[in-house]
Structure formats: C-alpha cells, structure tokens
Amino acid sequence: MERALDRQRVLLRHLQPSPSSGSPSHTPQSACVSASACAAGDLAAYQRTASFGDDVVIVAAYRTAICKSRRGGFKDTLPEDLLAPVLRAVVEKTNLNPAEVGDIVVGTVLAPGSQRGIECRMAAFYAGFPETVPLRTVNRQCSSGLQAVADVAASIKAGFYDIGIGAGLESMTVDQVRAVPKVNPRVHSFAQARDCLLPMGITSENVAQRFGVTRQEQDQAAVESHRRAYAATQSGKFKDEIIPVSTKFVDPKTGEEKPVTISVDDGIRPNTNINDLAKLKPAFRKDGATTAGNASQVSDGAGAVLLMKRSVAVQKGLPILGVFRSFAAVGVDPAVMGIGPAVAIPAAVKSAGLTLDDIDLLEINEAFASQYVYCCKKLGLDPEKVNVNGGALALGHPLGATGARCVATLLNEMKRQGRDSRFGVISILITSCLGMLSRCKWGYHLYEFKIGEWSVFSISNCSRRLKPNKWRNS
C-alpha cells in the first residue's frame, strides 16, 4: 500500500503545471509535466509547457517480422519493400490522410546515407504518401530508430508540423558491417579514439573479462531469451505489432521463386539449450566467451511510429499510446560500450523522481549476452521484469530498426499487463559508447529513451480510443 501511495505522489508531482507556464487551464487535461533535466545535464532538458493539448503523443507503432539476414524470410526483399508496409500501416490503421504527415524520419545504419535516403523515399511512394511529404534518414548506430522518433517529437514540439513518422530500417542481407576503410594515424596517440574502432564483439569480451561475466551466464541468458520469445510467439503476443509483408522467396537450392507472406520472426530457436551452446567456439577471441549463440543475430526488418500533437490526436479520436517529453545526453567508455544501460537507466529513473524498485518492466537490447547479464546484475534487476518476451538474442537485431521495434513491443506488453504494469524501461546499446533508454508508465506511462550518449523522457497513457469530447484519464 505504501508503495502505491509513493507512486501516486510521484505522478502528482509530474502533473503539476510548470511555474513559468502562466495561469493553468481549468480543464482536467491541462495539467502538464514540469520540466525535468536528465542527470546528463540541464542543457539536455526538453522544456514542457502547461498546455496539455501540446503534448507530443504516439498513436501507432508497428514493425515487420524480424528475419535472419541472407537466410531468412526477407533475404530476397529489398530495403524499400521492408519499409513501405509499416509506413502504410501507421496511416491506414489510424485512417490518417498521408498528406497530413509533416515529415518522415528513418533511422538506418549500414547503407550509404544518400543511397538509403533514396530507397526510403521510394518506400514512402510505395506506401501511398504524396510527393508533398518530405523524408530524411538519421544514423545514430543501433538506436537510430529511436533517434528518428526523438527527432520527429522535437519537430512537433517546436511547431514545425503537427504530425510525423519516426521509423527504422535495416537490411543486413543487402548491407553488411564493414571495417573503417582508412584510419587516421592519430588514433595511435589517443586510446579512447582508438577504442572507437574496436569491433563490437571485442567490446563484448572486454565487458565479460573486466566484470567477470562467465560463459555459462551468457549461454543461460541466450537460452532464456529464446524460450521467452518462443512462448510469446506461440501465445500470439506479437500479432498486434507485426505487419505481414507480402514478398518473394527464392529457394537457394532450386532457384525457384515463389510468393510468400512473412508475419513471424524466424530467428527464434525453441530448442536452444545449454549443452548445445557450450559446444560453440568463441567468435572473437580464442579464449573468449562470446559466441554465435550468445550474441544477437544479424537481421532484416523495419518499424514505424506515428506521432502527433495530442490535440490533433484527440480531435481525430485516435488512441494515445505514449507521450514524448524530453531528451538528454551522456556517454561511456567505448572499450566497454555495452555497460551503457547500467549507467543510463539509474540516471533516467532518478530524473523522474523514481527508483529502480518502481520499475515494473524493462527492455534491455540483447546485443551481446555479456553486457546484458552485466547490466542486469549491476542494477540488481528482477529477471522476471526484464525482456519478458525475449530479446535480440532470439529475435535478432536489425540495427536501424530495433528502436522502433522496441517501442511497439513495450507499448503492447504494457497494454496487456494493464494497471499492474505502471513503469517500464527500454535500453539499447550503441557502438562507440552509445546506448538508449525508454521508460513507460501505465495510466500515465513514463517513457524514457536513452542512448549512452542521450536520453528521451516522456509520460504516456494507456491505449484507448479517445473521442474528441472524452479527455478523462487520457
């Protein structure tokens, strides 16, 4: 009972109007969240106003299935044909006129920027958007999809437009991770600059060695991820977030091409077990512990998140899934970039006036089991609250798309758990010292995305369809 009362006190503090916002409105919806700076610094604060209708809200979030690159269901699907279905879905399922979208921002990592920008614009046309709707890409490594959402939210808040789409896309079949072609010789004089060039697998080994994460702990994390992801798939938990994609598949043996519809993640291995994983050889160091079985898969996939001003969403009678609030930046040592969540999560939780004990659900991207295990242990997290439907070790990690995928997955899980799930956290790691965190709260879902270098904070409410005259509890 005392814990419940504490949570209500925290929520009431958040709902108090900002002292600088002038006279408060007399409508129940006008209470706003006061400005709150992340522990990373005041310069990163995303200022709030008392105008409740000016909140930036999330009204839809969908993704494709996540498939194994070069072997899975999307191996013969071009990047623009991955993105187009989710762009189409966020407008069709909300009955939104595509011409009303002010901008589309797509997070993507591996492809050359100008080339991927062209492909994404093509996807927008395939999805039915008119030529008047602009599009650009953004690359912030593994959190690019979340950065796209943040950019759209900031633009809406600034008044540049009222409706926008933050999306993510990666085809690791088409574009592979490559080494830096030419290295500046100055890196030999700067250790941290040199560490920015470390392969991510080596940073995983550094985390395991420096913080004592055993091979068995990493393999067990992989087993659990596959078990949970398989259980979620079998129970239909992902159906509400996955948009089926009609595409083609070429049989690698016969060369026969056939039409297929992909609607299920194909990287999950339900029979994964400790004995089989123990037989795998280290992938990055001869004496290491990171293997193909306890690292995230290279994958293909896409996701999209539709955001708009709250007053517009209410006028259209759309469901309010989340409210985007603020943005801040921090950083960690690139040699052990995987520890980002252990630093970012406490800072983000503290910035909301909460403690880790207040958090009911966490999504920590499983780039490598070593960093995932370390962060959970360092923060003393309850395993039953973290990645309840599995993570990247099972589902895969299409770099630019994972952020958007996490938004869809977390919102749907919090909706299912209802008022038993009040606060949640998402954290994504990024190469060269980046990671991202998101926090949600049911009723008023607290949302905070954080990438070792930056964070996004918001409060959102439960998913329910709102009529223009029904603001209560929204």
The predicted structure's pLDDT at residue 31: 23
DSSP character at residue 385: G
The predicted structure's pLDDT at residue 274: 98
The predicted structure's pLDDT at residue 324: 75
Cα separation of 231 and 235, whole Å?
Answer: 6
Q: Which two tokens stand for residue 97?
A: 């006129």
Report, in this order, helix, strand and coil percent for the chain, each rounded to 5: 40, 20, 40
Give the contacts of 162 (CB within 8 A, at least 6 positions apart). 100, 102, 156, 308, 309, 312
Q: Which two tokens stand for residue 100?
A: 């009303």
DSSP character at residue 338: G
Q: Which two tokens stand for residue 163?
A: 């409706």
Dihedral sign, CA of 112, 285, 452, 399?
positive
Contact 438, 407 (CB under 8 A): yes
Contact 91, 128 (CB under 8 A): yes
| 441, amino acid identity | K
Contact 215, 283 (CB under 8 A): no
Cα separation of 104 and 328, whole Å?
Answer: 22
Q: Which two tokens stand for residue 325?
A: 């609030």
| 166, amino acid identity | G
Q: Which two tokens stand for residue 442?
A: 């049911």
The predicted structure's pLDDT at residue 29: 26
**Cβ-count burial of 98 within 10 angstroms (0-12 exposed, 13-18 middle, 19+ buried)?**
buried
**Could you give the angle at the alpha carbon of 135 between the alpha carbons of 132 and 141, nearest 5°?**
175
Residue found by looking up tokens 């209802």 in the block: 418
The span from the first CA to the last CA of the chain, in angstroms, equals 24
Residues in the chain with pLDDT values less than 70: 1-51, 325-330, 352, 429-474
Q: Which two tokens stand for residue 392?
A: 């990247």
The predicted structure's pLDDT at residue 228: 98
The whole model's pTM is what?
A: 0.81
The predicted structure's pLDDT at residue 352: 63
DSSP character at residue 471: -
The predicted structure's pLDDT at residue 457: 36
Domains and CATH numbers, the chain: 56-175+186-450 (3.40.47.10)
Contact 406, 363 (CB under 8 A): yes
Cα separation of 465 and 467, whole Å?
Answer: 7
Let me know how long the chain is.
Answer: 474
For the beta carbon of residue 234, count every other beta carbon within 10 angstroms. 10
Contact 40, 455 (CB under 8 A): yes
